[in-house]
Amino acid sequence: MKKTAIWSILLALGQLNSTSRAQSQEDIAKQFVGMWRLASNPQRLVDGTTREGSNSVGYAFFDANAGHMCFLSMNPNRPQWKSEAAPTPEEGLSAIRGFGAYCATIEIHAKEGFMVRHYEINQTPNAVGRPTKRWYSFQGTDRMSLRVDASELNRPVADSTFVWERVVK
């Protein structure tokens, strides 16, 4: 009888724990939902110096379930084309290098504090289908940070974080 009672209690506690985890997952997803404006992209380089990422104007959009997102960014200092109708190859390449865009499905791992994005659309053809990881944190309801996983960084960047502010009406 004691064993049955103990097992019943453990089973009930296990169900409560999984329910709270599912709720936590849902709560995290709700925090992402909406439109976000890029506030900053601080980067730490391997030599210890810091800089701001070049594509400093950006928006991220998360759907109502935070299961999909899209992202656009640009370097506001891209050179203007001499002829809008016929850019030179150098001007065209500069425009492409100074612009970022993708759409992805998202898996939120609330317990661990990261999301995995699976690109469906990406300006870089080789990235389509590739999963990428971002470590998230929320600072209140209208600010969040997404840190690029270390395995995805290219030298000389040692750390890169995107700081976002919620766009509110």
Q: How many helices (H) and strands (E) does the chain have?
A: 2, 10
Sign, CA torsion 154/44/111/119: negative
Question: Are residues 71 and 58 in contact, defined by beta-carbon separation less than 8 angstroms?
Answer: yes
Q: What whole-number distance in Å separates Cα of residue 32 and Cα of residue 165?
A: 11
Proportion of the chain above pLDDT 90, given as a percent: 82
Write the pLDDT tens digit of every residue in 73-86: 999 999 999 999 99
CA angle 75, 160, 55 (to 5 degrees): 5
17 falls in which pLDDT band (50, 70, 90)?
very low
Mean pLDDT of 23-32: 84
User: For residue 7, is pLDDT > 60?
Assistant: no
The token pair that represents 8 in the structure block:
């019943």
Write the pLDDT tens digit of every residue in 54-77: 889 999 999 999 999 999 999 999
Q: What are phi and psi of 20, to 5 degrees?
A: -65, -35
Q: What whole-number distance in Å separates Cα of residue 42 and Cα of residue 34?
A: 23
How much is the pLDDT for 26? 87
